[in-house]
Amino acid sequence: MTENSEKVSVLFVCMGNICRSPTAEGVFRHVVSEAGLDELVDIESAGTHAYHVGEPPDRRAQQAAARRGYSLAEIRARRVSEGDFERFHYIIAMDEDNLAMLHEQADAAHREKIRLFLEFGSGPETEVPDPYYGGATGFERVLDLVEDASRGLLAVLRQR
């Protein structure tokens, strides 16, 4: 990516948009900002379900993120909309279930934009596990995976 590059847009998606996808949004914003590319990348998150629309991220997700220097405070949950498939260049699902739901919602012309986040990671995992019903270690594990995949995604965007 150079200053003359077209702006790229990324949407992170999980089920309720209060744990994994806002964590990915916050971490990726930080990674992109550290690279000096804020003006070239639009970053948002959304959920496949409307359980928590308008709510901030889960308190435990915010606390875990804050311990690593990431702020999720301004993020509010929203549901994936039909227009998102047109608007975003990358639609990044946290797991196979949400990937399948996104593929069902998207027109055939937009399905190639939909990917699993950990495709960009360096480990063997394919899904970011949902930490909602677990303890604090689940949120730390999510951050480990998201940090790694964020670096990989940024490397891919730099090649655009």
- Note whether 41 and 10 are within 8 A (CB): yes
Q: Which residue has the tokens 């690593």?
A: 68
What's the rounded Cα separation, in Å, for the pair 30 and 58? 19
**66 contact partners, CB below 8 Å, separation of at least 6:** 72
* Residue 141 annotated as catalytic: no
Annotated active-site residue in 19, 20, 29, 95: 20
Nearest Cα to Cα of residue 143 among 67, 80, 53, 56: 67
* Residue 148 annotated as catalytic: no
Annotated active-site residue in 58, 95, 130, 148: 130
Q: How far apart are the first and last CA of the chain?
A: 6
Structure tokens at 36: 């000096």
Annotated active-site residue in 14, 19, 29, 58: 14
What's the rounded Cα separation, in Å, for the pair 55 and 51? 9
Q: Which residues are catalytic, by number?
A: 14, 20, 130
